Each structure stands twice: as C-alpha cells, then as structure tokens.
Structure 1
C-alpha cells in the first residue's frame, strides 16, 4: 500500500513511518523540517501545513492509497496545528482523489464542545468514576486549548466526505511496541490510563484494513 504520513517527525509519526516501512508499505513522510527525520528510507516531502502549501501537498499525495496523520501540538505555541493542518490535508485529498485517512486525537475529546457540537455528552461511556469526576475534568482544564483544537479537527472530519477514522488514546508513553492493547468503537477504555506511542501507530496502521472502522472513533489503551 502507498501511504502518506503527516506529522512524520513527531512521537507517533516516527513509529508510523518505521512500522509502515517494516510492513513493506511504500511511504511518503511529510515533515516541516527534514532534519528531524534523518536516515529514513521513506520518500520525504517538506511542507508547512500552517502555510497550506498546495503544491507540496499534492506532491505528497501523488499515488497515495491512504493518509495517516500524527499531527498535534508540541507546545502552546503550536495551538491550532491539528485542526488547521488537517483542514489543509483534507482539502488536498479531495483534490487528489485520496479518500482514506486515519488520525490521532485524544481520549478526553469526546466530551469537549466544538462549534458544531456545542453540547457533547457529559461523560464518555467508557470512563469510570475516577476519570469522569476527578482526572478527566482536571486534564481537560489544563489542556483545554489542545483538546479544543482536536475537537475542531474531529468536527471537520465528521462534516467532510472522507472515509475517516479517529483514534483516541489516553496518556501517551514512550514504551515499546507490544501489540497488546484494548480497543473499542465509540468510547474510551475502562481503566485504560496509558498506551505507548508505538502501539497507537500499530493500531492506526491496522485500522486501514478494517472497513468497519470508517467514520468511527476508536478508543485504545493498555
């Protein structure tokens, strides 16, 4: 399969590139700074999604069967990168005829409002009491700008015509690839507080071959 990976130099993106190459896929890695992805066997395309470089995006999508995105802010200075970047990607996909995209979001986002979804559910049905009443509200308060950006990203995917899948992990770790994680469609994982970036990448690649995951959110955790 020919895959285009955005955010390829990030924590999840690097695992996506390495695992996709190891599985025999033809990979195009899209990065803002190629120096952050040294020594890769992937084809590297330089593009700044904040500037919506249409020529570079079209080149990155040429011949692609599917898109994977690990976009997300590394700091407050990157606020809005997920929604803006995903908007640029989906617009370029529409013009290139590429229809499949799998993106990473975050477990708390299901209860975060967005302009088109101002009254989301109060609780995620997969969350237990500790997450509903203690950890969840505290995390959303501290990272409210980050989650608002991801909620807007998800909204734009829902409103578009692509075959999207959104993966919602809890706290990410730098642990190894294990392949031993739990998943659920449309909800978070009860008692699932962490998952490794490597395992999230593993799931995102696996979902490309699951038609039942199209236009679904997928919770994942250890």
Structure 2
C-alpha cells in the first residue's frame, strides 16, 4: 500500500511509520521539518509539508492509496485552526486525486467536550474522571478540542471512506499490547502511543470501521493517573516526548 502520514514526526507518527515500513508498505511522511525526521528506509519518502499549504498537501497525497492524519498541537489559549484547515486541505486533495481511505485521530475527550454525534451513547466512566478530571482537561484544551470537533465534522461530511479514532490519555511504552477498540463511549483511561499507531495501521488496512468513530485504549500495564499527570500534562519525569 502507498500510505501518506501527516504528523509523522510525532511520537505516535514515528511508531506508525516504522510499523508501516516493517509491514512492507511504502510511506510518505509529511512533516514540517524533513531534515529532523529520524527514520530512513528505501520505501520511505520524507516531504516537507505545511498543512496550511494546499499545494504541498496535494503533492504529498498524489499517487497514494490511503492517508492517515495524526495532526496535533499542545494546549494553549490562542484559537486553533491547524486541525480543521489541515483536514480540509487533506480531504480536498484526496478528492482531487481519487484517494478514498482516510483514518484520522482526535481524542476521547470529545465525548464529554462536545455534543454527541448521531447514535453516540453517553461516556460511562468513574465519577472522578467524568466530573473532575475531564472538565479540567477540556477547559485547559478548549481551543484545541473545539478545532478537533470542527475536524470531525469536516471529515464526516466528505464522500471518503473515513474512520475517526479517539485515543484516551496518551503515554509511552515500547511494545504493542492487546489493546481494545470499541465504540466512543467504551471505558478506558489510557492509550499507549505504540498501541495507537498499531490501531491506525490496522484500521487503514482492514477497513473494519469505515464511516465510524471508534475509541482505542490500552488494557495491560497502564500507568497511574499521577504518572500521566506528571509526565504528559506537567512534563515532569522520565518517559520520552521526542
């Protein structure tokens, strides 16, 4: 498969790129700074792409069989448009070049941040997370999650064969585990980045959830809430955020 990955230089993106190459796929890594991309392979093409640049996005998508988007930015107070503008340029380019399969990543927090999509059930979770943690995180990341909502709406409005994947709180591990994929309201607090990457590659090749939104979360060896708070939100501790 010819596969374009937007956001390939994120932690999840590097896992995904390595897994796709190991599986024999040909990968175009669309990144903002191609000189800093650490992977190399005869089947890997690294392109410098700003998703605000429609022409650059079109060049990255021409000739592909499928596209995976892992666009994301840190929390901040300023309005965010990179996700919605990026997915607009990506989906427009896919329509232009006749590429149908799209898998994109948002967040399980949208299940509490935004009005539910048609047919989506309430998010069932422990009281502390539902009533305390999630409101704090969705307030801190309000502008980011607002743009994720716009991105999901744009994706669903296309004629593409799309799948939206919503991971839980992300953390790092070294090996793929027996993670769970299910409806958006499925309970599960944490998702390792390597599991997320594996699920994205499986979605784009198996086509099991076309025109669906799914959650993915890790079920084995998950960290404590304190670890995730320190290392992911406060960025204190040892695991790697490269």
1:174 aligns with 2:176: no
Counting only pairs closer than 5 Å after superposition, residues 131-142 of structure 1 correspond to structure 2 as 131-142=129-140
Detail structure 1 runs of 4+ shifted over 4 Å in the superposition. Answer: none
* Between 210-219 and 129-138, the greater mean CA deviation after superposition: 129-138
Quote the offset at 1:193 in angstroms. 1.4
Structure 2, unpaired ranges of 5+: 219-242
Q: 1:128 to 1:210 in 2, by over 3 A?
A: farther
Is the contact made by 1:182 and 1:189 (CA closer than 8 Å) also made in structure 2? Answer: no
Aligned to 2:211: 215
Provide the rounded CA distance (Å) in 1 between the counterparts of 2:135 and 2:75: 20
Look up the SS of the partner of 1:107 in the other structure. coil
Deviation at 1:214, TM superposition (A): 0.5
Does the CA contact (< 8 Å) of 2:75 and 2:141 recur in 1? no
Q: Which residue of 2 aligns with 1:116?
A: none
Tell me if structure 2 keeps the 8 A contact 1:20–1:205: yes
* TM-score, normalised by the number of residues in structure 2: 0.81
Cα deviations across residues 83-132 of structure 1 (Å, max 9, x unaligned)? 1111111111110100111011100113433xxxxx43797334343332
Alignment partner, residue 203 of structure 1:
199
Instruction: Trace 1:13-162 onto structure 2 (pairs within 5 A).
Output: 13-41=13-41, 42-52=44-54, 54=55, 56-76=56-76, 79-113=80-114, 119-120=115-116, 124-162=122-160
- 1:39-59 Cα shifts (integer Å, max 9, x gaps): 42210111111232x1x3232
TM-score, normalised with respect to structure 1: 0.88
Number of the residue aligned with 1:163: 161
Change (3 A) 1:141 1:39: closer
Separation in 2, partners of 1:170, 1:145: 18
**Residue pair 1:123, 1:132 contacting (<8 A) in 2 also:** no
Mark the CA change 1:182 to 1:61 in structure 2 (over 3 Å): closer, same or farther.
Answer: same
Matched position secondary structure for 1:208: helix
Shift of the 57–165 alpha-carbon distance from structure 1 to 2, 3 Å rule, reads same
CA shift at 1:68, angstroms? 0.7
Deviation at 1:212, TM superposition (A): 3.5
The 2-side partners of 1:65 and 1:163 are apart by: 12
RMSD over equivalenced CA pairs, Å: 2.0
* CA distance in 2: counterparts of 1:124 and 1:194, whole angstroms: 18
Task: Give 5+ residue unaligned stretches, structure 1.
Answer: 114-118
